[in-house]
Structure 1
Amino acid sequence: MPLRGLTNELFDVYKRVLDQAELASVVGFERLFREHPPSANAAGYKFVRISSSASFAAIGRTSGLYMIASDFVPDLKRREGCSLRIDDLPVIYRGQAHNVGERVRSHLDNTRYKDLKREKKQDIWTRCLKLDRNPGNGGIDFDAVPYREHRWVVLVLPLQNSRTEFRNYAEWGFDEVFGRPIASNEKSRHPSKSGLDEAREKLGYATLNGTTVIQGAAA
């Protein structure tokens, strides 16, 4: 086979392997979230109530998936959102980051976050939590009007030493189980329904009444 043909074949093999790993990971996270539902008291998750600027340090610098829940109602285009509630508050945003504590601060403590980063001459996250339809890149201050009249909590699924792609799979698995939160509006590619259904079948998973089960396992 000519050199170009061989290299094209290798690229095709590589893409198929990546696609299979992606689908298997998303389906695996679906199973994780169904068998270990996120909650304030769930083992393996980290729950933090945002009550002061010091709260963000308690989140830590771990890599992972995070969920922001609040009784604040975003002024955004309405759509079917997320069914999950944490500490009896609806989840309005979910995201992923290499440094979750810092990323959540950029969303909820935005002014202090930007001042600190400028002081250290470090790069700043410019696209942050957006809760209204006004122009701008988002980010709020939880202790400023009107947000200080509301409750804010964060739940983290630590995924230490993970890559961005893997954490994206966690986001997509979360969305498959609970629905995408109203303020999560990223344009990232999501696996097709047919691809996920095929992956579930290959992996021996089935969904019955909202619960993922292993086909052939004892009830």
Structure 2
Amino acid sequence: MKDLMGEFIERQSALATEIENRFAEYFRAAVVPPFGDNGPVRAGYGIVSRLLASPGCSAEAVAKRIAQLPSGQGVYVIMTDYAVPGAGASSFGVPGSGLKAIYRGHSSNIRERVMGHVTHGAYMAMCASKKDKKPWSAFFKIEDAPGDGGLDITSAPYNGATWAIVAFEMKDSTRPLRELAENGFSGAFGTPARSVKEPNTPLANFAVAA
């Protein structure tokens, strides 16, 4: 059994590396459309770009823009021109935007996860208003500090900056597969400053959405 387990672990690791490399190729070749002011801009293969906030944007306008994001599974990239330490760690960019990728994550619900990151107070209030709605945890932080993270891009000092999202939809994907996609993104462009590299995860149940 020991030899058999060793073989399976080796094969699993090799498959994970192959999948990450394939994702890296996909992300390098992906054509991301410019950010739109009037709604999400969609490209082929489930790529969506959306301007979330510009300087002085109201909370209501930001909420409407977040509501237009995909609600399914996928990988997303938070971009901004806010002065984030180490913002140049990732080379990913959208031509003409001047924005830096500062965080990439994944979720079974891109819309709600992004809401929790960038309009954290509104997200927690939404969860509290719904029976049995358990909020996510571990939101991104601009700087290392105690607490669970999350910010409000409609409040100072963040409301003086531009914020946007690029989402890569991954319908019916599992968490392990999305984590490999995250690592593929990092392999293609480097890990954004406020993200961490995902650990290698078991490859079981790829065909079951989670």
For this structure pair, what is the TM-score category when the shorter chain's length is used for normalisation? 0.7 to 0.9
1:95-154 deviation per Cα after TM superposition (whole angstroms, max 9, x unaligned): 111111111101001001001111114211221010023322210111111111111110
1:177 to partner: Cα distance: 1.3
Equivalent residue for 1:17? 11
Task: Show CA shifts across 1:22-65 (max 9, x none).
Answer: 11101101111222244537533101111411111111211011
Tell me which of 95, 108, 121 is aligned to 2:105. 95
The RMSD of aligned alpha carbons is 2.1
Q: Gapped runs of 5+ residues in structure 1?
A: 192-219
Identity %: 24
Alignment of 1:20-169 (within 5 A): 20-40=14-34, 42-44=43-45, 45-51=47-53, 52-74=62-84, 76=85, 78=86, 81-86=89-94, 87-120=97-130, 121-169=132-180
Change in 2 beyond 3 A, CA 1:169/1:38: farther
Tell which structure's C-alpha radius of gyration is larger: 1
| Counterpart Cα distance in 2 of 1:37 and 1:82 | 17
Separation (CA, whole Å) in 2 of partners of 1:156 and 1:15: 32
Cα distance, 1:9 vs. partner? 4.5
Q: Which runs of 5+ in 2 are unaligned?
A: 35-40, 54-61, 202-210
Hey, what's the Cα distance between the residues in 2 that align with 1:129 and 1:100?
14
Q: Partners of 2:89 and 2:114 in 1: how far apart? A: 20
Shift of 1:182: 0.6
Q: Structure 2 length normalisation: TM-score?
A: 0.79
Report the counterpart of residue 197 of structure 1 in structure 2: none
Corresponding residue of 1:210: none
